[in-house]
Chains A and B, each alone.
Chain A
Amino acid sequence: MTITPTPSDVLVLRSVAKHFGQIRVLENIDLTIARGERHALIGPNGAGKSTLFNLISGRFPLSAGSISLNAREISGLPPHLLNRAGLGRSFQITHIFNRMSVRDNILLSVMSRHGKRWSFLRRGSVWRTIDEETDGLLEGSNLAHHADRDAGTLPYSDQRALEICMTVATGAEIVLLDEPTAGMSREETALTISFIRKLTEGRTLVMVEHDMDVVFGLADRVSVVANGSILATGTPQEIANDARVRKAYLGDAVQ
């Protein structure tokens, strides 16, 4: 499948491959993601969707191919430059700062967004902006009443909310979420869906997901990763009706 990217495509993957030694986890991946799109990566376990996610988010180097962001090659960039290019990612295992307050967790992302990375003094009016933004994000994530608690003492779903909030707080225009609803109950999942929708308003979203409710509730388009390649891409409805997809998930036993 050749791709012809259009100017509205913010993320383009061309012939991306990933090998771990002899094992070929991903082969010949072509994918385009449009600006403002909400795109879900789904697939059976072990198919390579997490690896693909880690390639896009810069955690693993590519074995072949290229990934470009806004027509700029980003494969091989270190994480901090990826972030400054506009990419933000969350982690499947919550990567928050446990022994720091919830506010400080978010503050670090906001500071980075405003370029305050070597700041030893709180001087200048930008700090008021930073504090206001932090407070705003606390409110928006429903964490304001926890602001001074250590992040590690939060209940699990609040930790996940914080995780997502930190990702978005850097001002990333492309938000990558790795199984954001992992381990959540149905109620928590529903809340998280609307939370993600609100927080990623106007941004591009790519997420790895297992939960079909989330996929249907959030995604504009879905890519199915199976056996190391992309089996199909389309709207959630199209994918749900695709026979090849059903076969990939359920095997030959079910027609």
Chain B
Amino acid sequence: MRAFGISGFVILIILLAAAPLTGDMSMLNVLIKVFIAAIFALGFNLLWGQAGLLSFGHAAYFGIGTFAAIYLMDVIDRGLAFPTPLVPLAGAAAGFLFGLVAGWFATIRSGVYFAMITVALAELTAALAVKWESLFGGEAGIRSIRSPWGPFKFQSTTDVYYLILVWTVLVIVFLLWLQRSPWGLIVRGIREREERVRFIGYKSHAVKTLVFAISAAIAGLAGALLALSNEAANMVLLQSTGSAFVVLNTVIGGANVFGGPIVGAALTTIFSYYVADITHYWMLYLGLLFIALVLYAPSGLVGLVAERAKAVRGGEKQWMSAAEAMLIAGLATLLAGAVLAIELTGAVLAPEYKAQILANSGQWPAVRVFGVAWPPLSPISFLTVIALFGFGIGLMRASSSNSGWALFRPKSLVLKAGSKS
């Protein structure tokens, strides 16, 4: 299994390295965003998956990394002989220093206190950034430029892509190594039973502070990569949306498997890239997906697959039974109905719509969803929504053998001992 993982990983890297050959620049841009989000999520999950500390304010360190990098880029542009490929280290360093201080405070308490303190610290940083215009550039942010280094000009997307890909691999290797180190064992011990760790002689507060700082450093590194990619830094990056998204990404992918946050980040980023143009409400859909996952698949999508793989290997289950397929088909239908309802509601409530009604001499114009025009007040729209709901729920009920509805019993987030995948 381990060998499959390594060779699979290598193949993936080769494929990713070959991606620029396709000449598809927009795909490269998406992948760049995916890598950055993945690194951020991996750093976040070092804190959560390994140390059991759930931080809701991690965007602060990401944002600080962005600004540290942009200032370094500026100084390089003015003549400092510092290699551009090493600029992310500035982000990591800034994130580390901040994380050291923030982490020291945050890890004085544990559990929900810790979570609240991380939120407050992030708000503090975001509020400071808004006020401190000379440093953070206010609403316009700060811009700079990638300087060439050696044979690399860093003017093309491809150059940036390879730079970020290399850093992604480095971060992954670093984190895997850290996890397997003796110190990594102590960190997991703290996650399992902190009091015990203290009573066998470790200073748990110091260890937690360091793991927080490393996690913040990786977030800062991701931020620096963004600064390199965009040649810009903005205080918006420090705000709560970024913190929320990294939590979302990790939960969607799964915190208990190393690759979970990567998959979650990839899915969310790709989803937002392609869907954000189609609908205003893509964040609502993500939020609802998050809630559904926390309830019914708290080990994330990767966790789900891993658990199923284990059951298949153990001979207990198939990959997908007919009942489960029917359940999923029903669920998809139900979701289509929900999306239609949400899109129609949103479109009708939007201020532009009132203007459109007036322009249409009092008639409510149709709204385009799924490529079809739906007149909001017509029975067709209502009936379609109801039909989709009904059909979906019907399918789900019909599949209600044990394996069917079992998907809908809320599951526990806490991995039982012995069920490592």
Contact = CB atoms under 8 A, between A and B. Distances in A.
Contacts of B196: 91, 95-97, 166
A204 interface: no
A98 B204 CA distance: 18
Interface stretch (B37-45, B129-137, B186-194, B371-379): B186-194
A53 to B, nearest CB: 13
A79 B198 contact: yes
Interface string B174-209: 000010011101101100110111111111100000
Given A79-B199, A83-B201, A89-B199, A108 B189 contact: yes
Contact of B198 (A80, A99, A118, A121): A80
A140 to B, nearest CB: 17
Interface in A185-229: none
A145 interface: no
B195 A113 contact: no
A91 to B, nearest CB: 7
A106 to B, nearest CB: 10
Interface residues of B, number: 25
B202 A80 contact: yes
Interface string A59-90: 00000000000000000001110111000110
Interface of B: prevailing SS: helix
Interface string B341-354: 00000000000000
A35 interface: no
Contacts of A150: 417-418, 420
A206 to B, nearest CB: 15
A174 interface: no
Contact of A95 (B186, B188, B195, B417): B195
B192 A99 contact: yes
A92 interface: no
B82 to A, nearest CB: 27
A111 B192 contact: no
Nearest to A99: B417
B86 to A, nearest CB: 22
B325 interface: no
Contact of B181 (A83, A91, A121, A152): A121
